[in-house]
């Protein structure tokens, strides 16, 4: 994973997510914008589309395992696609779904920890294979690694106007 394994505390994600949900730095480019913003926006659109069409298999394939989330208000690591699919509605609960489905590409925001959207409901980033030593100066560094969901913060309240 880029810059090590990132596990976010729900309260930090909610506070940070609420602040950035209003102004993503991928469509409003500034000094903090990452060069891989276009790839992050494309990933967000694929994820949002899969969530809209209730394509659980595609979403499960978009996750980097193990993934940190909550089930019944307890932090758990989901080890594989089968485990995620067995708990899909608990993991991608109504708040997370609403937050993602109502987000736009203007809400995509990234920093050294990865990208988030939906007030911190999910975090994703380009995943570097274990054992690989990437060359950060290589021309393909920002496009070489596929994006995957790293954290699903489903145990928080997300302001949502729709279900």
Tokens 């995620």 found at: 84
Phi, psi of 7 (to 5 degrees): -120, 120
Residue of 72, 154, 163 lying closest to 120 (CA atoms) = 154
What is the mean predicted confidence (pLDDT) over 59-81?
96
| Statement: residue 17 has pLDDT above 90 | no
What is the mean predicted confidence (pLDDT) over 48-52?
98
Helical residues (DSSP H) of the chain, grouped into ranges: 10-20, 37-52, 56-61, 81-86, 88-91, 94-101, 141-144
pTM comes to 0.81
What is the mean predicted confidence (pLDDT) over 120-133?
94
Tell me, what's the pLDDT at 131?
A: 93
| Statement: residue 98 has pLDDT above 70 | yes
Instruction: Give percent of the chain with pLDDT exceeding 90.
Output: 64
Rounded Cα–Cα distance for residues 27 and 37 (Å)? 8
Confidence of residue 161 (pLDDT cuts 50, 70, 90): low
DSSP 8-state code for residue 31: T
Confidence of residue 157 (pLDDT cuts 50, 70, 90): confident
Asked if the peptide bond before residue 157 counts as cis, ω within 30 degrees of 0, the response is no
Which residues have a Cβ under 8 Å from the Cβ of 102 and sit 6 or more positions away? 118, 160, 161, 162
CA distances from 152 to 22, 54, 76, 81, 87 (A): 20, 17, 11, 14, 13
Tell me, what's the pLDDT at 24?
A: 82
| Statement: residue 18 has pLDDT above 60 | no
| Statement: residue 162 has pLDDT above 90 | no
Rounded Cα–Cα distance for residues 129 and 69 (Å)? 21
Confidence of residue 6 (pLDDT cuts 50, 70, 90): very low
């Amino acid at each position: 994973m880029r810059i090590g394994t990132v596990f976010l505390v729900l309260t930090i994600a909610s506070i940070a997510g609420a602040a950035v949900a209003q102004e993503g730095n991928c469509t409003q480019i500034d000094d903090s914008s990452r060069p891989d913003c276009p790839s992050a926006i494309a990933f967000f659109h694929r994820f949002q589309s899969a969530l809209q069409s209730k394509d659980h298999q595609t979403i499960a394939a978009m996750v980097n395992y193990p993934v940190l989330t909550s089930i019944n208000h307890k932090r758990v690591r989901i080890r594989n696609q089968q485990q995620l699919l067995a708990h899909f509605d608990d993991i991608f609960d109504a708040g997370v779904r609403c937050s993602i489905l109502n987000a736009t590409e203007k809400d995509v925001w990234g920093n050294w920890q990865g990208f988030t959207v939906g007030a911190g409901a999910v975090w994703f980033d380009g995943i570097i294979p274990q054992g690989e030593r990437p060359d950060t100066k290589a021309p393909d560094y920002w496009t070489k690694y596929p994006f995957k969901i790293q954290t699903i913060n489903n145990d928080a309240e997300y302001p949502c106007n729709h279900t």
